[in-house]
Structure 1
Amino acid sequence: MKKITLVILLIFSMSCKNEKQNTEIQDSPKKVEQKDSFVLKINAVVEYDDKFVLHYLDDGQKNITTENSVTVQVSGSDQPQELRFQIKEEILPTRLFLSFGNDERQQKINFLTTELSYGDELISIEKEKFIQYFIPNQYVIYDNESITATTKIIGDQYKPRFDSRELLIDRIYLKF
């Protein structure tokens, strides 16, 4: 009789322990939260190998830092390719700076489409309107007809870059 009671108590305690474990498993979260992130995608023909860096300013920032940048290596090609820059989660930039420049100190880029997204929201920029949202610096010659940027050297300096215009920043804040 003692053995039967002991076996029943053992079975009962094991079943209670299993129920407790099942309850803990059911109470734990099953979904991993997906946070929003800012993504800039540029579809372009990039003639020469290059390193593109998207620098961005966050609220209150005034200077460009390497911490606030995303780098994409590009192989030169006569075929369109996507340059995809994804900024850290839940950061909405206040300014964008797209810099590039290779060792050969020459580059030709034909911009096709540009998209900015944050979460489920999307801003599409047609190729003809790229220049309305991004302004080239003095090291870039931009041809409006062919929608092509060609770099140039000034003195011994070579620092080609596109900066976001106020129009783009305004659209970012209105949309996202």
Structure 2
Amino acid sequence: MAKVDFKKAKKITKAGAPVEHTLKWSVMVTEQNILDLIELTKNSALKVDEQVELEGEVFIKRLSFKAGRDVAKAYEWDINYDDIEKSELKSVDSDRLQASQLIGCVCVDAKGSPFFESVQDVYDSDPAFIAALYKLADDINNFMGKSRTKNSTSVNSSASLSSTESVDEPLKKHPKK
């Protein structure tokens, strides 16, 4: 572990600048979007009910502390004021959770200008677009808390190292050395 002068570490404690990434998704051509899609793709042969593959550049940044606080609003707690550690999670608004995560990290430029202005702005978006965007943002921010190791075989649990217990025969203990 590197030991640093805390006063000099301020720059590296920031959430970081947005990084440009390529986003790919598909959209169904509808009567409402056909003219916009023809203009975007420069393909005048598009027809309603056709799938169009799109690709564009988007900027993703790490969630800041404030954005993380906005994400936390998706959780509803039953607070135990007598013993705070016994508080229980009542519900999670998963739509708001994902929308808040996207609001906090998806940008239109390297300056960090937000792509989405509100939770409703995310809700109004095409599901295929949101799914592709969320996957990309999750790769950067690890929203799902996935292990970052490349090879899962290098992380073994003790349960996977021993044989399973049968109903008829209890698991035999390995002798201690």
Q: Same fold (TM over 0.5)?
A: no
Structure showing greater Rg: 1
Q: Normalized per residue, which structure has more strand?
A: 1
More helix per residue: 2
* Structure 1 length-normalised TM: 0.21
State the TM-score, normalizing by the size of structure 2.
Answer: 0.21
